[in-house]
Structure 1
Amino acid sequence: MSLKEILQIGNVRNFLIFRSSYFARFYYPVFTLLYLDYGLTLSQFAMLNVVWAATIVLAEVPSGAFADTLGRKKLVVLSSIVMFIEIAMIAFVPTGNLDLVFFVFLINRVLSGLAMALASGADEALAYDTLKDQGKEDLWPRILQIQLRLSSGIGIFVTLLGAAMYDVNFMANVFHLLGFAEPETTQDIMRIPVYATLLVALVAMYAAFSMREEKKTLPSDGGKLATTMASLKLTLETGKWVTSTPYVLFILLYYSLFEHTSRMFLTMNSQYYSAINIPIIYFGMIGAGVSGLKILLAGQSRRLAESVAPKPFILMMGLASIATYYWISLGWSIYGVIPALVLIFIIMTMNIFISYHLNRKTESHNRATVLSFKGLMFNLGYGSIGMLYAYYYKLLSQNYTEEQIAEHIDFIASLSSFVYYFAFLFIAISMAFYVKDKKQPIF
């Protein structure tokens, strides 16, 4: 089936647009630096991301169940609206009062987590079930490959421009050409990437409203209350099914470990790049390189996910991740970018593998709920590692002088915790898998 024919499938096309625009955020290349320039500390940054994860944990599975009962499009639309509001909050918050800034960012993280939870599973379920209704569900890995390449292509533009927007020298030239007063510090220009992201959020809203779904029929006895009870019942039933189906349970456990550990590090990648002496203007080039890497290797990732048996695949990815985190912890100047790129390829491949195998084992009637459990398990892990890292970094930084902290020596020292954390949990999950698999083969 040609790309043109695939894009003629409405929900698939809008799924691709929604995913690509939802995550096209111009401030991502400087995410950590943005928070610090608003006046927050690194520990506050880590804790705010714990709040983000906790919100998703609380909202993830119920939202998936409501998507399966009330309708998936409604939740995707609501997600896009909430996304617009949370970005607008940090775009216009005054920075004179640090307590107010922290409070606004706290609400931002809650709304961001809620938006993520509302969309999680619902958009994917809409697209997948549209394929299934047409007997084309085998195209799903290819759709994921297209989505990855599209997002990466857009990511090249977004990361290059986003990092440039945050570089004082570059923006001084732009302001001079436009006849405006030239900025002197990053605080003078830090909102520009946020404003740009606010415009892209409108594209996500358009895609969400353009999706199509057959109208859900509410139960005749009880209306919305009956629907709510049906959603909660579906959540409980799906939870029991997940925990009693070792294939799905271990797929989700491995997914959570790989995803939340890498996400914690990649969330702080701008701080990492700064620590290994890379100028801000190059953050965008690195981001563009990452997107280019994804485009080039998306096909290889898909072939690995489809062709390699689950056991050797997970073992290979696990050992590669441990080695990569160790490489990152060395904090090599400039060359430390290489293991960060390797980590991105590992996670890209792992995500295709997980989606491919999870959707194959899930029925249509509870697909969004199961995919929400996927998000739930990720965010439980992300919240946990966020709290652990914030506490560990706070203790560790007390052993360094202000000059050493300014040179990011304490931050580089904290990165070894990722090696121990990932290795410990990977071994623990694998031992549990080995015991269960000996009794009855899982994969």
Structure 2
Amino acid sequence: MTVKEILQVRNVRCFLIFRSSYFARFYYPVFTLLYLDYGLTLSQFAMLNVVWAATIVISEVPSGAFADTLGRKKLVVLSSLVMFVEIAMIALVPTENPNVVFMVFLINRVLSGLAMSLASGADEALAYDTLKDQGKEEVWPQVLQMQLRIASSVGIVVTLLGAAMYDVNFMAPIFEALGMNRPESTQDIMRIPVFATLMVALIAIYAAFSMEEEKKEKTAEGGKLATTMASLKLTMNTGKWVLSTPYVLFILLYYSLFEHTSRMFLTMNSQYYRAIEIPIIYIGFIGAGISVFQILLAGRSRRLAEQMEPKRFILAMGVATIATYYCISLGWPIYGVIPALALIFITMTMNIFISYHLNKKTESHNRATVLSFKGLMFNLGYGFIGMLYAYYYKLLSQNYTEQQIEQHIDFIASLSSFVYYFAFMFIAISAWFYIKNKRTTVFS
């Protein structure tokens, strides 16, 4: 199918709009710095991320099951509305009382996790099943490639503007031209990227409402209780199916390892860039460069995911990831951006590989539930590595002076933990895979 033909499929078009607008967060380039400027501490920042992951873990699979029984569109719409509310909370929260700020951000993280789990799997299942109903499911990798390119294109604009919005020197002339007082620090302009994100959230709401889904027949008896029981039963049955299907189980295990490890690092990328001596304003240019990088290499990622034999693919990506984390841990000034780019490419390629193989092995009736298990396993891993890293960093930082901490020497030293963690987990999963594969072929 041509791009034009793919875009004529309503749910696919809405899926692409929803994904690209849902994750267009202008504050992402300065995520960690934003939290600190609101008055939160690094320990609170770590705690809030664990709360976010825990919320998704609790709500991920049930939400996917409800998507398969109640209706996927309803959950996508609800997700977009909850997302709007959670962003509005931090856009409007007063900062005079630190306790109030923390409580608002705590609620924000819970709502953010809930919004993510509500949409997770449901939007993708809607788009994929529409193609499948039309006998066009083989073009799904093309849709994923398009989604990457569109999201990356949007990301160029969002990242450049987001970083610029957070740079005092850039914003000062704009404030003066508008007749406003010149900002003195980032705390004077920290809400601007948040309000910009709030506006884009309206596009995600529009795309969610524009999706279509065939109405499901209502349960004759039992009403909502029967529907709830059906959702829980579907969750349990899907869980048993995942555990008893080695192909799907190992796909999810490898996905979780690659994704939660890279997400943990990328969550702190603004701190990493600062540690390797890159000014805030240039973070936007780096983010834009990454988006261009993704656009140019999205096709290559798709071909690797489709054509390369699964065992060879996973082994190659695993070795490349270990080498990448090692290079990151060296903390090269300026040039440390290069291994960060390599990590982006690896993560992008793995995501296409996982979605391609997982959807191929999953039946339509429980697709959203299986995709929710995918999110569940990622967030279990993300919460686990978050707690491990926070504890490790706390112990490590005690060995450095205040001057060394200000120079981020302790932070660079902590990055070696990613090498050890990923290598250990990758070898452990691969050893289990080897034993399992000797008994019964996992990847044919």
User: What TM-score comes out, normalization by structure 2 length?
Assistant: 0.99
Q: What is the match of residue 334 of structure 2?
A: 334
Q: CA deviation at 1:215?
A: 1.1
Report Cα offsets for 1:72-113 as digits up to 9, x if no partner: 000000000000011011111111111111111111111000
The residue correspondences of 1:81-92 to structure 2 (distance < 5 A) are 81-92=81-92
Counterpart CA distance in 1 for 2:346 and 2:178 is 43
Tell whether 2:298 aligns with 1:298: yes
* One-letter identity of the residue aligned with 2:252: L
Report Cα offsets for 1:227-262 as digits up to 9, x if no partner: 000000000000000000000000000000000000
Q: CA deviation at 1:176?
A: 1.6
Counterpart CA distance in 2 for 1:302 and 1:59 is 31
Q: Indicate conservation of the 8 Å contact 1:163/1:280, yes or no.
A: yes
Q: What is the match of residue 316 of structure 1?
A: 316
Q: What is the match of residue 201 of structure 1?
A: 201
Q: What is the match of residue 406 of structure 2?
A: 406
Q: What is the match of residue 172 of structure 1?
A: 172
Q: What is the match of residue 148 of structure 1?
A: 148
Q: Indicate conservation of the 8 Å contact 1:302/1:353, yes or no.
A: yes
Counterpart CA distance in 2 for 1:333 and 1:97 is 38
Q: What is the match of residue 106 of structure 1?
A: 106
Counterpart CA distance in 2 for 1:138 and 1:171 is 47
Counterpart CA distance in 2 for 1:336 and 1:40 is 28
Specify the SS of the correspondent of 1:356: helix
Counterpart CA distance in 2 for 1:42 and 1:420 is 23
Q: Indicate conservation of the 8 Å contact 1:166/1:190, yes or no.
A: yes
* One-letter identity of the residue aligned with 2:128: Y
Counterpart CA distance in 2 for 1:73 and 1:163 is 34
Q: What is the match of residue 9 of structure 1?
A: 9
Specify the SS of the correspondent of 1:362: coil
The residue correspondences of 1:52-201 to structure 2 (distance < 5 A) are 52-201=52-201
Q: What is the match of residue 248 of structure 1?
A: 248
Specify the SS of the correspondent of 1:201: helix
215-224 or 312-321: which moved more? 215-224
Q: CA deviation at 1:218?
A: 2.3
Tell whether 2:222 aligns with 1:212: no
Counterpart CA distance in 1 for 2:137 and 2:412 is 45
Specify the SS of the correspondent of 1:339: helix
Specify the SS of the correspondent of 1:304: helix
Q: CA deviation at 1:43?
A: 2.3
Q: What is the match of residue 424 of structure 1?
A: 424
Q: CA deviation at 1:138?
A: 0.2
Counterpart CA distance in 2 for 1:76 and 1:181 is 41
Report Cα offsets for 1:293-327 as digits up to 9, x if no partner: 00000000000000000000000000000000010
Specify the SS of the correspondent of 1:40: coil
Q: What is the match of residue 369 of structure 1?
A: 369
Q: CA deviation at 1:45?
A: 1.3
Report Cα offsets for 1:31-58 as digits up to 9, x if no partner: 1111111112222212211110100000
User: What TM-score comes out, normalization by structure 1 length?
Assistant: 0.99
395-404 or 383-392: which moved more? 395-404
Counterpart CA distance in 2 for 1:392 and 1:98 is 26
Counterpart CA distance in 1 for 2:370 and 2:433 is 20
Counterpart CA distance in 1 for 2:186 and 2:171 is 10
Report Cα offsets for 1:320-352 as digits up to 9, x if no partner: 000000100111110001100100000000000
Q: Indicate conservation of the 8 Å contact 1:21/1:204, yes or no.
A: yes
Tell whether 2:36 aligns with 1:25: no
Q: Indicate conservation of the 8 Å contact 1:261/1:382, yes or no.
A: yes
Counterpart CA distance in 2 for 1:110 and 1:5 is 39
Specify the SS of the correspondent of 1:343: helix
Specify the SS of the correspondent of 1:433: helix
Q: CA deviation at 1:146?
A: 0.3
Specify the SS of the correspondent of 2:212: coil
Q: Indicate conservation of the 8 Å contact 1:46/1:389, yes or no.
A: no
Unaligned runs of 5+ in 1: none
Q: CA deviation at 1:125?
A: 0.1
Q: What is the match of residue 274 of structure 2?
A: 274
Report Cα offsets for 1:347-388 as digits up to 9, x if no partner: 000000000000000000000000000000000000000111
Counterpart CA distance in 2 for 1:382 and 1:96 is 32
Report Cα offsets for 1:99-136 as digits up to 9, x if no partner: 11111111111100000000000000000000000000
* One-letter identity of the residue aligned with 2:102: F
Unaligned runs of 5+ in 2: none
Structure 1 segments of 4+ aligned residues over 4 angstroms from their partners: none
Q: CA deviation at 1:219?
A: 1.2
Specify the SS of the correspondent of 1:278: coil
Q: What is the match of residue 435 of structure 2?
A: 435
Q: What is the aligned-residue identity percentage?
A: 82
Counterpart CA distance in 2 for 1:381 and 1:187 is 33
Specify the SS of the correspondent of 1:252: helix
Counterpart CA distance in 2 for 1:99 and 1:397 is 26
Q: CA deviation at 1:396?
A: 1.5
Counterpart CA distance in 1 for 2:194 and 2:298 is 29
Counterpart CA distance in 1 for 2:50 and 2:228 is 28
* One-letter identity of the residue aligned with 2:290: V
Counterpart CA distance in 2 for 1:32 and 1:251 is 31
Q: Indicate conservation of the 8 Å contact 1:76/1:118, yes or no.
A: yes
* One-letter identity of the residue aligned with 2:263: R
93-102 or 193-202: which moved more? 93-102
Specify the SS of the correspondent of 1:400: coil
